[in-house]
């Protein structure tokens, strides 16, 4: 038995001298460099006592070395555990205590603050920065030859912790086959070849940047332009050399604000992909008008990698996430009974396929609760499948608003608000209400200088929505709170506005 994931990567590599990555400092990284550097990191981990099945937790800044550490961990038979670079020491303490890694790799500048937490969790602390660090030094001194540790399709390759917007984050266990099967599907579905050059500006502690963007490049033998972060100046500098880009909606919104975005500047591009958060239909339309390109929106999760995608050929419908990917089954069911619903009916989205994770780390009760007896995973996302087969996401199950006994799906209200002239985007939430249980509340971001008021928004909705769906309060704000992947953090909005009706009642309003 070989190393399932890395054997597939190796088998699909182009000539050793072919370019794998162009770095922002001008360095070029070949596929030979990938093999050598990942072997050096694998040797370094093995020398530190890392055994098959051990966790290697990593909180570092984005770099080519960090990508090679990921591949080195796979080759060493370890379980790679990337952590958001924005997490505080207190947050890191929870992840280390839960995962109990053999090795924890952090940025050199954070080592002193994180060392006590690593020691408490029983992890060996090493550092890795951009071009320096104790683990990099060990890797540099190690051999470029490594006998890959045998790992089968069902062995774990990674643990990714959920974003933790409600309760403690849970570790999603992803196998070698979860990652490889999804990568092979995406390479084919999105038509990636060795001629592609991906503009990579995503973080690599998340499914999108690591297991979609990076693995798609590796599985197609393509190359990437590896940028430390999203920066419009860097994007426009390197855009002429790229054929494709993957981003979150925020990327596209910001690029639309730049006059350099034109049909001429994007004419050579083959594909723009968006994910990790909902793409506004207005952004989709405006991008198409400005560039002639239709953004391809897809739907994935930490637990499942990618589930659906708008088609490469055919209509990429704004406001939808396309069709289930080959090999993936999707259905919409009644959240309470699990009974499948008809087309156009809103319910809970469930998925099944080789992409779906093995369960939550050390949490068999939660794992059992999230799977149906027939193997379908309960995503927690509310949506529908229309008559043409396109999947629509209308919100998270926890975002469902129950007001006066009626169900209100936030997306339906947000869509109406977002279509109003002068509105950039909105978030609709439910907050405690003394009479209705929950009051529908809209938080809206408007364009600078737009002549739009909270009363005007409320009045416009009177003609568009049933009374129970209409917001009882509308707030206009400069921006919505988001996590690092661009998702609106409705939990923070609910916390911020939770007492508004109680305060009004107290004030006699």
Average pLDDT over residues 31-36: 98
Q: What is the mean pLDDT of the chain?
A: 94
Q: What is the pLDDT of residue 503?
A: 83
Report the distance separating Cα 344 and Cα 332, nearest Å: 9
CA-to-CA distance for 182 and 153, rounded, in angstroms? 13
Q: Give the integer Cα–Cα distance in Å for 309 and 323.
A: 5
In this structure, the chain runs to a length of 509
Which residue has tokens 């009916």? 345
What mean pLDDT is predicted for residues 170-176? 97
| Averaged pLDDT for residues 298-313 | 97
Whole-number pLDDT of residue 165 = 43
Identify which of 214, 31, 48 has the alpha carbon closest to the alpha carbon of residue 135.
48
Rounded to whole angstroms, how far apart are CA atoms 166 and 204? Answer: 23
pLDDT, tens digit, 9 for 90 and up, residues 466-506: 888 999 999 999 999 998 778 899 989 999 999 888 787 67
The DSSP bridge pattern shows strands 124-127 and 223-226 to be unpaired
- Three-state DSSP at 270 gives coil
The tokens of 89 are what?
Answer: 């020491």
Which range, of 84-93, 116-125, 183-192, 280-289, averages the lowest pLDDT?
84-93
Q: What's the pLDDT at 163?
A: 64
Sign of the torsion formed by the C-alpha atoms of 78, 84, 90 and 91: negative
Place of tokens 């099944």: 352
Between 44-53, 111-120, 155-164, 386-395, the lowest mean confidence (pLDDT) is in 155-164
Contacts of 48 (CB under 8 A, 6+ apart): 102, 103, 124, 126, 138
**pLDDT tens-digit map of 204-228:** 999 999 999 999 999 999 999 999 9
Q: What is the pLDDT of residue 167?
A: 55
Instruction: pLDDT band for 436, please (50, 70, 90 cuts).
Output: confident
* Confidence category of residue 306, pLDDT binned at 50, 70, 90: very high
Residue 358, pLDDT score:
98
The mean per-residue pLDDT over the stretch 2-17 comes to 98
Q: What is the arithmetic mean of pLDDT over 359-366?
A: 96
Q: Contact at 8 Å (CB) between 12 and 220?
A: yes
- pLDDT score recorded for residue 509: 63
Say which residues have a Cβ less than 8 Å from residue 319's Cβ, sequence separation at least 6: 281, 284, 392, 415
Q: Which residues have CB under 8 Å from 259's CB, separation 6+?
A: none
Count of alpha carbons within 13 Å of 135, Cβ hemisphere only? 35
pLDDT digits (tens, 9 = 90+) for 108-165: 999 999 999 999 999 999 999 988 999 999 999 999 999 999 999 999 999 999 865 4
Q: What is the pLDDT of residue 13?
A: 98
Q: What is the DSSP string of 384-435?
A: EE-TTS-EEEEEEGGG-EEETTEEE-HHHHHHHHHTSTTEEEEEEEEEEETT
**Residue 62 DSSP class:** -
Residue 166 has pLDDT above 50, yes or no: no
Q: Which of 196, 186, 187 is nearest to 268 (CA)?
A: 196
Tell me phi and psi for residue 28, to 5 degrees. Answer: -115, 140
Q: What is the DSSP letter of 173?
A: E
Q: Which of 298, 295, 216, 296 is nearest to 261 (CA)?
A: 295
CA-nearest of 201, 70, 205, 84 to 135 is 70
Task: Write out the two tokens for 408.
Answer: 């209100």
Mean pLDDT to the nearest integer, 408-427: 91
Task: Report pLDDT for 189.
Answer: 98
Q: In this predicted structure, what is the pLDDT of residue 208?
A: 94
Mean pLDDT over residues 188-215, rounded?
97
pLDDT in tens, 219-261: 999 999 999 999 999 999 999 999 999 998 889 989 999 999 9
What one-character DSSP code corresponds to residue 233?
H
Express each pLDDT in 442-464 by its tens digit.
Answer: 999 999 999 999 999 999 999 88
Q: What is 319-355 written as a DSSP string? A: T---EEPTT-EEEEE-TTT--B--TT--EEEEEESTT
- Secondary structure (DSSP) of 294-308: PPEEEEEETTTEEEE
Are 457 and 472 within 8 A, CB to CB? Answer: no
């Amino acid at each position: 038995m070989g190393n399932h994931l890395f054997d597939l990567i190796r088998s699909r590599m182009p000539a050793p001298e072919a370019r794998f990555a162009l770095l922002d400092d001008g360095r070029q990284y070949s596929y030979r460099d990938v093999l050598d550097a990942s072997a050096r990191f694998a040797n370094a981990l093995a020398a530190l006592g890392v055994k098959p099945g051990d966790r290697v937790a990593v909180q570092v800044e984005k770099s080519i070395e960090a990508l090679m550490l990921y591949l080195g961990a796979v080759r060493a038979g370890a379980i790679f555990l990337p952590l958001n670079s924005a997490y505080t020491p207190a947050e890191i303490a929870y992840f280390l205590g839960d995962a109990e890694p053999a090795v924890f790799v952090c940025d050199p500048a954070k080592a002193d603050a994180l060392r006590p937490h690593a020691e408490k969790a029983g992890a060996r602390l090493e550092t890795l920065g951009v071009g320096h660090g104790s683990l990099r030094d060990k890797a540099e001194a190690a051999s470029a030859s490594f006998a890959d540790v045998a790992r089968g399709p069902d062995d774990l390759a990674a643990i990714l912790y959920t974003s933790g917007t409600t309760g403690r984050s849970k570790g999603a266990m992803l196998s070698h086959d979860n990652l490889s099967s999804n990568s092979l599907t995406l390479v084919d579905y999105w038509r990636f070849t060795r001629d592609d050059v991906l503009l990579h500006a995503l973080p690599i502690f998340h499914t999108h940047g690591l297991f979609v963007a990076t693995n798609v490049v590796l599985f197609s033998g393509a190359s990437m332009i590896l940028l430390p972060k999203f920066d419009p100046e860097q994007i426009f500098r390197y855009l002429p050399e790229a054929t494709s880009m993957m981003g979150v909606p925020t990327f596209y919104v910001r690029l639309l604000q730049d006059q350099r975005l034109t049909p001429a500047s994007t004419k050579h591009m083959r594909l723009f992909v968006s994910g990790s958060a909902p793409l506004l239909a207005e952004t989709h339309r405006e991008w198409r008008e400005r560039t002639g390109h239709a953004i391809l929106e897809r739907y994935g999760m930490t637990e499942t990698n990618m589930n659906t995608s708008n088609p490469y050929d055919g209509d990429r419908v704004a406001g939808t996430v396309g069709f289930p990917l080959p090999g993936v089954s999707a259905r919409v069911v009644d959240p309470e009974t699990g009974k499948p619903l008809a087309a156009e009916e809103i319910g809970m989205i469930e998925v099944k396929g080789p992409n779906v994770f093995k369960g939550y780390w050390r949490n068999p009760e939660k794992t059992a609760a999230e799977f149906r007896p027939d193997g379908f995973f309960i995503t927690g996302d509310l949506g529908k499948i229309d008559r043409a087969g396109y999947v629509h996401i209308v919100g998270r199950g926890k975002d469902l608003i129950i007001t006066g006994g009626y169900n209100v799906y936030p997306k339906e209200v947000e869509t109406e608000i977002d279509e109003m002239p002068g509105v950039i985007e909105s978030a609709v939430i439910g907050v405690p209400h003394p009479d209705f249980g929950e009051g529908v509340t809209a938080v809206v971001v408007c364009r600078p200088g737009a002549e739009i008021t909270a009363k005007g928004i409320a009045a416009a909705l009177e003609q568009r929505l049933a009374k129970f769906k209409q917001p009882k309060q509308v707030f206009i704000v400069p921006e919505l709170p988001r996590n690092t992947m661009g998702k609106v953090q409705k939990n923070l909005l609910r916390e911020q506005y939770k007492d508004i009706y109680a305060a009004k009642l107290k004030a006699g309003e």
